[in-house]
Chains A and B, each alone.
Chain A
Amino acid sequence: MTPPIQKIVYVEDEPDIQAIAQMALESIGGFNVILCSSGKEALDIIPVEKPDLILMDVMMPEMDGPSTMEALRQDPLCQDIPVAFMTAKVQKSEIDEFVQLGAIGVIPKPFDPMTLSDEVRGLWAKAHKD
């Protein structure tokens, strides 16, 4: 039985995308969403909030998605929280690269606000099946 997702930390530096994704995840998906605007902020918030899932943009200034994840992996409080990336680059090789880093999957951008929550659930279920 796959446990349900309740809390998601969403890391994204672009306010527009933040807004639409938050709307999609909360209003359509029914998740509790906590927003972070940078990798650094995420490192402060995640250990406190202990979400079920972290959703993270790949390309962010200063600290990008993969390095944020790497830093989270150093923290015993956060290292087991699944991470999914969002990116406009959906080359197979890059997806593989992210998965090798430990991400449970990649959601391609531009995403569809109506189906974003389903995609998140799909990745979640797949990760739990594996």
Chain B
Amino acid sequence: MDEVVKEKLSSIRARYQAQLEQKAEQLELFWQQSKIPPTVAVGETALSELLHLLHRLAGSGRTFGFPDISSVALELDRSIRDMDITEYRSDPEALLPLKQKLLKCLAQPVEGDYGGADRHFRKDTEYLVYVVEDDPAMGEWFHQALHSHGYDVCMFRSLAEMRERFLKQRPRLVIMDVILPEDVSAELRVCEDMRLFNDANVPVVIVSSRSEFNTRLMAVRAGVRAYLTKPVNQTTMISCLHEIIEEQPSDPYRILLVDDDEDLINIYRLNLEEAGVKVYGLTEPQRTLEVLESFRPELVVLDLHMPVCSGLELGQVIRQQVRYANIPIVFLSADSSEDIQLEAIRLAGDDYINKPIEPWRLRTNLLARLKRARMVNQYVSELVKEISFKEQHDALTGLPNKMQLESRLKLAMRNVREGVRKHMALFLVDIDNFQQVNDAYGHELGDQLLVDMAKRLESSLPHSCIVSRPGGDEFAILFKSMTGPHQVVHYSERLLELCDLPFVVGADEVKLSFSIGVAPYSAHMRAIDSKTLFKQADTALFRAKGSGKNDYVIFESRMESELIARVTLASDLRKALQNDEFHLVFQPQVRLDNNDIVGAEVLIRWEHPRRGLVPPCEFIPVAESHGLIERLGEYVLRSSIRYLAKCLSSFSRAIPLAVNVSPRQFAAPEFVEQIAELLNEYDVDGGLLELEITESALAHDIDTAVNKLNRLRKLGVRVAVDDFGTGFSNMASLKRYPVDMIKIDRSFIRDLPHDEDDLAIVTAIIEMGHALGLKLLAEGVENEEQMQMMRERKCDLVQGFYISRPMPADAFESQYIENLHGSSKLTR
């Protein structure tokens, strides 16, 4: 090295070293202060100062020739960041050993290689690794992974290229894929090259996507040092290289020796420590369990004959606990009776070694076992990591799932209760009409949309919040820290803006909207648990959906009672269906030209055992949101058809009934078959049944809807379009549906005759309906004037309080059906 450079380096290094004491003081200070909860602002500042200091030490130590400072500071920095803030505050002691280690590094910095520079000058090839990889992306990965761990890397696209260089400069290690495309007689050539590497004593690591027996066998025969299968885990690869190059693992093996002869322990210890093994020598067997817990050895060596208890007994004590089952036990004894050896292995051991044994022989034996034990443990811990990841994440989007959300939510709520944060909030975001996207584009594209949505949410929200997918098309976002209500509003609006840009679904761009429910949480709400908070967010979301979607609603406590009422109502509703607490009422429909009663709309009434009559406007939405609407719908259909049958048998005649059908009921694929079966079961003519279906139910999937309507028509069943004019009414699409009647919604009739706009609309609907050959019925007619106006405009039918309120079966029968003179007339 240039003398001038050397001199400069050492003066800079000395200056850096001189400041380390001060850094240690800072570390102590920030450490103490950062434990203070941030209600006192200094704690928050100190914590970020602490992390900043650690970051700087990690980023500088090695540069100045103190690699230990870098690695310990980095480890401490990561450990603190990995912890949740509360965890850190309640138990920073867990990090004490690391902190002590760092303080020691700062007090007595160990001069390492000058940032790797000395080694670079000493011997170019010490950390030089050759990689043969023909895939550029994979090559880039290797380069990045090795380089960031301090290796010098040379990349080669082919073995031949590498061989040429190899003859000039030997690396410390070679990594290669087994067979590269250009190699025709690859196997032979690899073996030839392997001889070259082996003769030069350069270890070879194979990284291959091939896993078949022959390739592996070839690798073994060729003397390959390690065989890793793609995709390779970076940590696994680096620790594997380290072990080959340094001839010991980066994290030393840990071995527990239990022997009453201290001298023997010392001899073994000396020998094993030379090979980089950490040895815990124990002369008191009764402390074994305690040491197993604190030292966590990967191998236990037991002397068979000890005064307190025999090794055989001790081995059995260890084996009583399943969690130590992965630790191999090796017995050492001068007693070479085969019976005892067999017994030792049968009861607890993995091997039995005869004393006396040369320390190097023992070392080789134990190292081989340690290496395998380490492999098993690594494999198991990776599996555990993978399983726990899968357990806590949604498989589709990779976001935390409901389980993880719940634990994070609990933690965040605790932080607020304990004053670490002021407020927090849980947001539930639901994609409006996601079901329609799924129906129209299929599940695969629907899933892709969810993945896109997850990405959009994650990339546009602060890192500190947790985006998760508890299920379906619903996303939950946990804001662990909120300054106040204005921030809730700000983020709600920002979330709504996320759907300003369309989503790409297949070849289309789809414009979506979200509904958002927010449940804020503050310290005074201590009585509320995480489940309740989730329900509150859900209630708010329900409100947002109800208020016309593309909106956010923030939970307020008055919604609480509604929530409870809704939940109670749902459970009562379930019971009511079982206990038959419903009955039907009938509202007559009258022809305007001759006052004949030509039909009646069937309405449902619920006689609640405690509350009495519950209005449909209250329980129908609950039935819809709790998945009971189909059962309720089926109940009404069946009861209506049964009632028709009863009328036919009792009075030999019946008045046609109009039954409401919910969109979900109509969407069921077996809907028409169900009607046919019911008509058949009760032997009722389809002409006596009319179904009232809203326009939105028909618009969902037009082709299927038209098909169903045609099949209904074949059964003789008539169909009326209900609540016409309230939704996205469309006369043009109406002509495509084979329906019989339009029911003009009551909202257009209510303000007649005064509201001229309404009158104009009603007139237009009647005219257009007639032009399409449909019958028209006006709902909610309440007085003579309205009746007269409808008559003048040639509306066909009316229904409403003016004619009759909905009436129970007996009154309906006595007034309209028992009349033996054939037709039923309006008696008004």
Taking A19-B15, A27-B8, A108-B148 as contacts, is the C-beta distance between A114 and B120 under 8 angstroms?
A: yes
Within 8 A of A (CB), among B5-50: 5, 8-9, 12, 15-16, 19
Contact B63 A110 (CB under 8 A): yes
A14, A87, A114: which contacts B115 (Cβ < 8 A)? A114
Taking A16-B60, A20-B64 as contacts, is the C-beta distance between A27 and B117 under 8 angstroms?
A: no
> A27, A28, A114, A115 — which one has the most chain B CB atoms within 10 A of its CB?
A114
A59 at interface, CB cutoff 8 A: yes
B1, B58, B63, B70: which contacts A17 (Cβ < 8 A)? B63
Contact B115 A112 (CB under 8 A): yes
Contact B12 A111 (CB under 8 A): no
Residues of A within 8 A of B8 (CB): 23, 27
Contact A112 B148 (CB under 8 A): no
Taking A20-B63, A88-B58 as contacts, is the C-beta distance between A113 and B70 under 8 angstroms?
A: no
Q: Mark A69-84, 1 if CB is under 8 A from B, else 0.
A: 0000000000000000
Residues of B within 8 A of A109 (CB): 58-60, 63
Taking A23-B8, A88-B55, A90-B148 as contacts, is the C-beta distance between A112 and B15 under 8 angstroms?
A: no
Within 8 A of B (CB), among A103-130: 108-115
Residues of A within 8 A of B545 (CB): none
How many residues of chain A have a CB within 8 Å of chain B? 22
CB distance from A29 to the nearest CB of B (A): 11
- Complex: A92 Cα to B62 Cα, angstroms: 21
B116 at interface, CB cutoff 8 A: yes
Taking A19-B15, A27-B4, A110-B115 as contacts, is the C-beta distance between A88 and B59 under 8 angstroms?
A: yes
Contact B5 A20 (CB under 8 A): no
B144 at interface, CB cutoff 8 A: yes
Contact A16 B12 (CB under 8 A): yes
Taking A23-B5, A92-B144, A110-B70 as contacts, is the C-beta distance between A115 and B59 under 8 angstroms?
A: no
Residues of B within 8 A of A59 (CB): 52, 55
Q: Mark A6-22, 1 if CB is under 8 A from B, else 0.
A: 00000000101101100
A87, A90, A115: which contacts B117 (Cβ < 8 A)? A115
CB distance from B664 to the nearest CB of A (A): 44
A95, A110, A112, A114: which contacts B59 (Cβ < 8 A)? A110
Contact B120 A115 (CB under 8 A): yes
A27, A87, A92, A112: which contacts B63 (Cβ < 8 A)? A112
Taking A16-B19, A90-B148 as contacts, is the C-beta distance between A114 and B117 under 8 angstroms?
A: yes
Within 8 A of B (CB), among A1-59: 14, 16-17, 19-20, 23, 27-28, 59
Taking A16-B16, A23-B9 as contacts, is the C-beta distance between A110 and B61 under 8 angstroms?
A: yes
* Number of inter-chain CB pairs below 8 Å: 76
CB distance from A48 to the nearest CB of B (A): 28
Residues of B within 8 A of A27 (CB): 2, 4-5, 8
Main secondary structure of the interface of B (DSSP, over half): helix
Within 8 A of A (CB), among B420-464: none
A23, A90, A95, A112: which contacts B120 (Cβ < 8 A)? A112
B582 at interface, CB cutoff 8 A: no
Contact A113 B115 (CB under 8 A): yes
Contact B15 A111 (CB under 8 A): no
B114 at interface, CB cutoff 8 A: yes
Residues of B within 8 A of A114 (CB): 1, 114-117, 120-121
- Complex: A114 Cα to B121 Cα, angstroms: 9
Q: Which residue of B lies closest to A15 (CB)?
A: B15
CB distance from B799 to the nearest CB of A (A): 65
Q: Which residue of A lies closest to B4 (CB)?
A: A27
Residues of B within 8 A of A20 (CB): 9, 12, 16, 63-64
CB distance from B474 to the nearest CB of A (A): 27
Q: Which residue of B lies closest to A16 (CB)?
A: B16
Contact B9 A113 (CB under 8 A): yes
Q: Which residue of A lies closest to B120 (CB)?
A: A114
- Complex: A92 Cα to B74 Cα, angstroms: 17
Contact A110 B62 (CB under 8 A): yes
Residues of A within 8 A of B120 (CB): 112, 114-115
Residues of A within 8 A of B535 (CB): none
Q: Which residue of A lies closest to B113 (CB)?
A: A112
Residues of B within 8 A of A19 (CB): 12, 15
Q: Which residue of A lies closest to B2 (CB)?
A: A27
- Complex: A84 Cα to B70 Cα, angstroms: 22
Q: Which residue of B lies closest to A90 (CB)?
A: B148
CB distance from A16 to the nearest CB of B (A): 5
Could you name 25 residue pairs across A and B whose Cβ atoms are closer than 8 Å? A16-B15, A16-B60, A17-B60, A19-B12, A20-B12, A23-B12, A28-B2, A87-B59, A90-B148, A108-B148, A110-B58, A110-B59, A110-B61, A110-B70, A111-B115, A112-B62, A112-B63, A112-B117, A112-B120, A113-B63, A113-B115, A113-B117, A114-B115, A114-B116, A115-B116
Binding site for A on B (CB under 8 A): 1-2, 4-5, 8-9, 12, 15-16, 19, 52, 55-56, 58-64, 70, 74, 114-117, 120-121, 144, 148
6 closest Cβ contacts across the A-B interface? A114-B117, A88-B59, A110-B62, A109-B59, A110-B63, A112-B115
